[in-house]
């Protein structure tokens, strides 16, 4: 019995000395810390970004097609419209092909964002697939198939690596290299650790990797908060996402009433909220109705997307060649020539962002 007590005491001492090993340790920012951080931020009203020239995120970042001049023009358009933040998915395959190139390119992209006063939310991974390929390939990407929504969309790192745990040390190296390089960079305002995990038919097979990604990110201790977005009703997935997030993010492509219900449901977590994907015009997720909800609730919001291009996201999800084409766009604010899809939408975005700046200024100077 004495030996047993000594063993237990020794184990407890190890846990006390190395708290990271404690199974249930909460690595998130405390509620007070994340609330204080959020209250110092502007009201983030922005967009999910993929350049018009890119058919997928591999093409956005790949050395064969990365185009800073095109990005500069598009982000200039965003700045002119008042938009102050963007979210984009990084591509592990491009990093692994040439880590030094990727980190330098990411720094170039951040410099363009900063030039236009736009904060960046990188998403490290993404499970979504809309075409026939479930793994990314570096190099020149396919051209669009007319009428196919998000043809050739490339997940990151790709489904084969998600389910093969022997590849995960390579993914850990990527997470820690990218986050370690930019963990104190003020041009990044939040790290989105994984976009829509389990999407694309993966089911629960993503969950082991998701847990690892959250742990790897916490081991870096970035100065920016981290998040994993809520995008469906999967309780097992959402429990992992919520407990691994400093700030609660979510996707909502529904009507004003649906959005208000969703926000009310998420308030129980007592953390700031950011909607990282919204705007689906045919589904009544529209600027004229939903933007006021985000503003009044001080919920950040990043719609999809900016300039319509090779992804053809003006079409509805699942659209295939030969399907009827609606005159109402699902996503995107501008045509390829930079003319607005609907000028009233741009005017409303500018109006609300301008109001939020005035409100923030008054609050800071009246305290």
Q: How far is CA 39 from CA 32, 225, 229, 271, 360, in A?
A: 11, 13, 20, 11, 9
Euclidean distance between CA atoms 18 and 306, whole angstroms: 46
What pLDDT score was predicted for residue 25? 57
Length of the chain: 367
Q: Please, which pLDDT band fits residue 254 given cuts at 50, 70 and 90? A: very high
Provide the sign of the torsion angle of the four alpha carbons 189, 253, 48, 229, taken in this order. Answer: positive
pLDDT of residue 12: 38
Between 94 and 360, the higher pLDDT residue = 94
353 — pLDDT class (breaks 50, 70, 90): very high
Q: Are 311 and 55 in contact (CB under 8 A)?
A: yes
Q: How confident is the model at residue 367 (pLDDT cuts 50, 70, 90)?
A: low
358 band by pLDDT with thresholds 50, 70 and 90: confident
pLDDT value at 193 more than 90: yes
Instruction: Identify the band that residue 232 occupies on the pLDDT scale cut at 50, 70 and 90.
Output: very high
What pTM was estimated for this model as a whole?
Answer: 0.91
**pLDDT averaged over every residue in the chain:** 92
pLDDT(15) > 70: no
Average pLDDT rounded to a whole number, residues 243-261: 98
Q: What is the pLDDT of residue 262?
A: 98
Which listed CATH number (3.20.20.80, 3.40.50.300, 3.40.50.620, 3.40.640.10) goes with 41-366?
3.20.20.80
Q: Which own/partner contact pairs does 257-264 have at CB distance under 8 Å and 24+ positions apart?
A: 259/285, 259/290, 259/293, 260/293, 263/293, 263/297, 263/299
Residue 10 to residue 4: CA distance in whole angstroms: 10
**Which token pair is 252?**
């909502």
Read off the tokens for 114. 């900063």
Neighbours of 226 (CB within 10 A): 24
Q: Above 80 in pLDDT, residue 21?
A: no
Nearest to 181 by CA among 268, 238, 104, 87: 104
| Residue 93 pLDDT exceeds 60 | yes
> Which residues are paired to 85 by β-bridges?
119
Q: What is the DSSP string of 185-238?
A: -TTB--EE--BSTTTTTTGGGGHHHHHHHHHHHHHH--SS-EE--B-S--HHHH
pLDDT at 195 over 60: yes
Please compute the mean of the pLDDT values over residues 256-285 and round it to a whole number: 98
Average pLDDT over residues 38-56: 98
Q: Given this model, what pLDDT does residue 359 score? A: 72
How far CA 2 is from CA of 5, 7, 8, in Å, comes to 5, 9, 10
Instruction: Give tens-digit pLDDT for 66-86.
Output: 999 999 999 999 999 999 999
Q: What is the pLDDT of residues 319-338, one digit of tens each?
A: 999 999 999 999 999 999 99
| Pick from 190, 195, 191, 189: nearest CA to 277 | 195
Q: Tell me, what's the pLDDT at 27?
A: 86
Asked if pLDDT for residue 238 goes beyond 70, the answer is yes
Strands (E) in the chain, as ranges, are 45-48, 85-89, 119-123, 191-192, 226-227, 248-251, 273-278, 300-304
């Amino acid at each position: 019995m004495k030996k047993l007590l000594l063993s237990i005491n020794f184990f407890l001492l190890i846990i006390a000395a190395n708290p990271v090993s404690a199974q249930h340790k909460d690595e998130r920012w405390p509620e007070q810390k994340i609330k204080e951080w959020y209250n110092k931020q502007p009201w983030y009203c922005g967009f999910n970004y993929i350049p018009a020239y890119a058919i997928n995120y591999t093409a956005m970042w790949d050395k064969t097609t990365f185009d800073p001049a095109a990005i500069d023009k598009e982000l200039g358009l965003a700045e002119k419209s008042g938009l102050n933040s963007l979210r984009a998915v990084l591509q592990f395959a491009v990093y692994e092909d040439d880590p030094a190139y990727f980190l330098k390119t990411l720094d170039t992209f951040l410099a363009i964002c900063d030039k236009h006063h736009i904060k960046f939310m990188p998403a490290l991974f993404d499970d979504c697939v809309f075409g026939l390929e479930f793994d990314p390939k570096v190099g020149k990407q396919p051209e669009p198939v007319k009428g196919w929504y998000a043809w050739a969309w490339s997940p990151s790192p790709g489904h084969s690596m998600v389910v093969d745990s022997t590849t995960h040390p390579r993914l850990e190296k990527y997470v820690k290299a990218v986050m370690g390089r930019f963990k104190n960079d003020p041009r990044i305002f939040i790290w989105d650790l994984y976009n829509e995990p389990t999407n694309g038919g993966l089911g629960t097979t993503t969950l082991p990797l998701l847990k690892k990604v959250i742990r790897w990110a916490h081991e870096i201790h970035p100065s920016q908060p981290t998040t994993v977005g809520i995008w469906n009703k999967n309780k097992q997935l959402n429990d992992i996402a919520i407990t691994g997030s400093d700030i609660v993010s979510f996707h909502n492509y529904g009507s004003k009433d649906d959005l208000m219900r969703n926000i009310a449901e998420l308030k129980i977590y007592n953390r700031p909220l950011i909607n990282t994907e919204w705007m689906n015009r045919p589904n009544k997720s529209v600027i004229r109705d939903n933007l006021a909800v985000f503003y009044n609730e001080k919920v950040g919001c990043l719609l999809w997307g900016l300039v319509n291009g090779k992804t053809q996201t003006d079409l509805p999800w699942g659209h295939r060649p030969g399907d009827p084409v609606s005159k109402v766009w699902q996503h995107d604010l501008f045509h390829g020539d930079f003319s607005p899809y609907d000028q009233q939408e741009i005017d409303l975005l500018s109006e609300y962002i301008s109001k939020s700046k005035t409100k923030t200024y008054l609050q800071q100077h009246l305290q």
